[in-house]
Structure 1
Amino acid sequence: MTSSVDIMAPTNQPRWLGPWFASIWLLYLLDPLIYAIQQHKWIGAGATVAFGIWYVGVWIWARQLLHRRITPLRATWPQALVSLGVLIGFGVLMVALIGPKGLAASVYIAVLAIMLLPPRFGIAVAVLDLVAVLSMAFRHGWDSAAGGVGLGVIAASIAVFGIRTVITRNFQLIEAHQENADLAVENERTRFARDLHDILGHSLTVITVKAELAQRLFDVDPVRAREELADLERLSRDALADVRRAVRGYRELTLPNELARARQALNAAGIEPVLPQSTDAVPTELRELFAWTVREGITNVLRHSHATQCEIVLSDRNVEVRDNGRGCDCDTVGSGLTGLRERARANAATVTTRNLTPGFVVEVAVR
């Protein structure tokens, strides 16, 4: 007694189609209405009209819930019971005032019960409705009407239950797609935050170190101070370019550039760099990961180590950034290592941090 065409249609269809599809099925109420008018049973005719109006109104309301992405299953119990109770009341009046012709209301009651109530309760109401209709077959003159309406109740209940199942599956699919989209957005937000931390964390640390150095050199060595200020300007421009590349999604780093930056940053901080002369031993697929490792490792050395020497060791399977500083708590070295672990995991590698005597080491090794 409802239309799957309208329920499953896109939301940009004309709004008048909903009431139209709902009203089509009221044709089955014409027979009891005409009979009531012919028999001058005006109260029965009024009950039939009220029954039809209420049915269409509830159906349109359920359709509005659907278009607001609230499935009919989520109608509250008071809403469902009031809607169904009023319809049953009008249906009982029809049967009492019109007779066998009024049994047509039973089909609509079964349909509404299945649409508004949770499945097991809706089916239970439809079964009780069918039992009530079939029990009328034992009354004289009611057998043919009860038999036909009973078949109608069964057919309509099965059809509407199928429609409801399709609607439910579609909403579950929509919710799953939305959840996947939300997760994708959250993952991208996390990735971007991690990249921004890795890029700016390193750059700003180097800028801070150089600014402190330039301030100390103002009175002692003005020429060197101006050189450091020039480096600050260049580094700030490089950081801005890195951020722009991250925004555009270009995340690749080059290992030679990171080693050159490491040398410059360590020298500016007064830390002796011990760096490899070549990166030829590192496979192409590991160069970006090792570049991120160098960047994060050097950032930690500049921030936390108070070291006098820092060494970077490269091989075809691992990279180490070690210093001779005071070491640190491996569990609280910052969110940068969390991002590095994620990158390593994506490349089937592991990140190891440990304290030395003296010093600290960050190692990324391919399993």
Structure 2
Amino acid sequence: MTGPYVMDVTESFRSWPEPQFSYRRPLAVVLIPGAFLFFLAEAVVDAFRLHSGWVSAGVVICVVVYAATYLFAIWQGLRVSRVSRVLLVLVLTVCPVAIASMMNASDLTYLTYAIVTALLLLPPVAGTVYGVAATLAELMATNIAHGAPDWRGGLVLIVMTVAMLSVRGFARQTDELALAREEIKMLAVAEERARVARDLHDVLGHSLTTITVKAGLTRRILESSGDVERALEQVHDVERLSRLALTEIRATVSGYRKVSLPAEIAGAKAALTAAGISAELPQAVDDVPGELQEPFGYVLREGVTNVIRHSGASRCWIRLGQSWIEITDNGTSKSTVDSGNGLSGLRERLAKVGGRLTAARGGEGGFVLRAEVSAS
């Protein structure tokens, strides 16, 4: 027998996943399906009422084995190997066939439990084929034994097949939803870690650079002129910056930190001046939309930090437009444009507002850092 349908069954087995399920509701898994086993009591009653001796004993044994195997399949079936699952379905097939052969062909209706197990343990296509085959077998057997097919029993089997197929699909969707929720939680944790790492880099990088510059300036003042009052001013600035950095770190960790573009411009002017770098800065930020002021503030902070630490520049130009910001210097550093944590973090921030970041050498030396957001 060949054809597309057989190929579908074969492919279904080839893609049959290994068991990887964990039950979160063990009582419901066993008790609810197991509650329907009381229908098997009718087979035992009929065996003692209509038969005696070995037939009654054989039916009782088959019912006990059938019920026990069914409960085991429901409870542990998805955790055993593929071969074991097939064996469980075979045992559950043999038991009702044996009962029907000892008593009545209509008892093949008890294949209901085997169909449930097949749809649970086998691939979907294979389970569906099993359900249809069991229904046809019941109709053919009753037709041979009684002269007419037992349509009532066949309807029970086919309805059970369709119902269990639907339940399986619903259960799979439920499992996928649970996995999706777990993945969302993991992604949220990863995103929060990335945010904290990115913000701490921006806060500490800029603050420590400014503190280092201020401390160096204090040392040079004391070494060259001994101007204690001027040196004390720088020390006070270092103390203020340290406290500010500590406050920003706490706000970053708690997720309440917000960057102000005007404050970053003022901070950039103070840091560049302390580093001995002449700066041209924008006078106002009113033209910049509110949703862009925070990412532009981060760009300004990172750009100025890099100018102070790496460029060796004497001048720095900061230009600002409605949808862009650019930091340029006349540095002489021969280092290559770096795409480390700072610039990577800026790209992530700008991507959230539909912007992009470019960093390259300027035409006459130095570096140009530009952030631009496309107009919507």
- For the criterion TM > 0.5, the same-fold answer is yes
Determine which of 125, 133, 156 is the counterpart of 2:130: 125
Instruction: Give distance in 2, aligned partners of 1:21 and 1:282.
Output: 63
Query: Offset of 1:35 from its aligned partner?
Result: 2.2
Instruction: Give distance in 2, aligned partners of 1:283 and 1:172.
Output: 41
Aligned pairs for 1:278-297 (under 5 A) are 278-297=284-303
Decide which moves more: 256-265 or 172-181.
Answer: 172-181
1:57 aligns with 72
Distance 1:331 1:269, change over 3 A: closer
Please say if residues 274 and 311 of structure 1, whose CA atoms lie closer than 8 Å, have aligned partners that are also in contact. Answer: yes
1:313 aligns with 319
Instruction: Give distance in 2, aligned partners of 1:321 and 1:112.
Output: 68
Query: Offset of 1:327 from its aligned partner?
Result: 4.8
Aligned pairs for 1:325-364 (under 5 A) are 325-327=331-333, 331-356=337-362, 357-364=364-371
Query: Offset of 1:282 from its aligned partner?
Result: 4.1
1:194 aligns with 198
Which secondary structure does the structure 1 equivalent of 2:327 belong to?
A: strand
Identity percentage over the alignment? 35
**1:33 equivalenced with 2:44 (yes/no):** yes
Which letter does structure 1 place at the counterpart of 2:367?
F
Distance 1:17 1:112, change over 3 A: closer
Decide which moves more: 301-310 or 122-131.
Answer: 122-131
2:16 aligns with none
Distance 1:137 1:285, change over 3 A: closer
2:7 aligns with none
Aligned Cα root-mean-square deviation (Å): 2.9
Which secondary structure does the structure 1 equivalent of 2:317 belong to?
A: strand
2:12 aligns with none
Distance 1:328 1:171, change over 3 A: farther
Distance 1:155 1:333, change over 3 A: closer
Decide which moves more: 99-108 or 326-335.
Answer: 326-335
Please say if residues 106 and 149 of structure 1, whose CA atoms lie closer than 8 Å, have aligned partners that are also in contact. Answer: no
Which secondary structure does the structure 2 equivalent of 1:250 belong to?
A: coil
Query: Offset of 1:196 from its aligned partner?
Result: 1.9
Query: Offset of 1:141 from its aligned partner?
Result: 4.0
Instruction: Give distance in 1, aligned partners of 2:291 and 2:64.
Output: 76
Deviation digits for residues 300-337 of structure 1, max 9, x if unmatched? 10121011222222344433221111256665243222
1:69 aligns with none
Determine which of 246, 251, 267 is the counterpart of 1:245: 251
Which letter does structure 2 place at the counterpart of 1:44?
V
Instruction: Give distance in 2, aligned partners of 1:244 and 1:276.
Output: 30
Instruction: Give distance in 2, aligned partners of 1:330 and 1:138.
Output: 86
Aligned pairs for 1:171-320 (under 5 A) are 171-220=175-224, 221=226, 223=228, 224-320=230-326
Instruction: Give distance in 2, aligned partners of 1:87 and 1:328.
Output: 78
Please say if residues 311 and 332 of structure 2, whose CA atoms lie closer than 8 Å, have aligned partners that are also in contact. Answer: yes
Query: Offset of 1:129 from its aligned partner?
Result: 1.8
Which letter does structure 2 place at the counterpart of 1:106?
L
Which secondary structure does the structure 2 equivalent of 1:332 belong to?
A: coil
Instruction: Give distance in 2, aligned partners of 1:48 and 1:309.
Output: 92
Instruction: Give distance in 2, aligned partners of 1:55 and 1:86.
Output: 9
Instruction: Give distance in 1, aligned partners of 2:187 and 2:257.
Output: 21
2:59 aligns with 44
Instruction: Give distance in 1, aligned partners of 2:187 and 2:171.
Output: 24
Specify every segment of 5 or more residues in structure 2 that has no aligned partner in the other structure, as ranges: 1-22
Please say if residues 211 and 232 of structure 1, whose CA atoms lie closer than 8 Å, have aligned partners that are also in contact. Answer: yes
Please say if residues 209 and 269 of structure 1, whose CA atoms lie closer than 8 Å, have aligned partners that are also in contact. Answer: yes
Instruction: Give distance in 2, aligned partners of 1:45 and 1:329.
Output: 86
Determine which of 17, 30, 33 is the counterpart of 1:22: 33
Distance 1:319 1:330, change over 3 A: farther
Which letter does structure 2 place at the counterpart of 1:153?
L
Distance 1:127 1:290, change over 3 A: closer
**1:323 equivalenced with 2:329 (yes/no):** yes
**1:105 equivalenced with 2:110 (yes/no):** yes
1:161 aligns with 165
Distance 1:281 1:108, change over 3 A: closer
Distance 1:160 1:297, change over 3 A: same
Aligned pairs for 1:82-97 (under 5 A) are 82-97=87-102
Decide which moves more: 296-305 or 213-222.
Answer: 213-222
Determine which of 136, 140, 147 is the counterpart of 1:135: 140
